[in-house]
Amino acid sequence: MITHFKVAGHLACGHHGDNLISTTELRRVKCRSCRSTDAFKDARKDARNAARRAARKAKGLHISNNWREAWKDKLTAMPGLQRLPRGYGGQPYV
């Protein structure tokens, strides 16, 4: 059976009937007409963007912001009086 995409209580492709299977789950939609509608494409784009945002949020800090901490840890681990990078006022030595 063909599974249709349901949006706001209606099928995206415009078919009518009581025996038609419909879902809001994007991966289960098999109807080619539903898949080619703007409603389906927008829903797929929104789901993709939400997944990317969630992955970015779960990742935590960006790698580009983490370099300073890694450099500070490296200098702290070095023996002797090693200078911290510029921008650490009040801490001339580790």
Q: Are 42 and 50 in contact (CB under 8 A)?
A: no
Within a domain: residue 75? no
Domain membership flag for residue 73: no
Span 1-26, mean pLDDT?
A: 91
Domain assignment present for 7: yes
Query: What pairs with residue 7 in β-bridges?
Result: 10
Whole-prediction pTM value? 0.60
Count of domains in the chain? Answer: 1
Domain that holds residue 19: 3-59
pLDDT surpassing 70 at residue 89? no
- Examine residue 72 and state whether it is found in any structural domain, yes or no: no
Over residues 20-79, the pLDDT tens digits come to 999 999 999 999 999 999 999 999 999 999 999 998 888 765 555 677 788 778 877 777
In a domain, 76, yes or no: no
Q: How far is Cα 81 from Cα 92, in angstroms, rounded to an integer?
A: 9
Residue with tokens 């030595």, as numbered in its chain: 93
5 token code pair? 């995409």
DSSP 80: S
Q: Is residue 66 part of a domain?
A: no
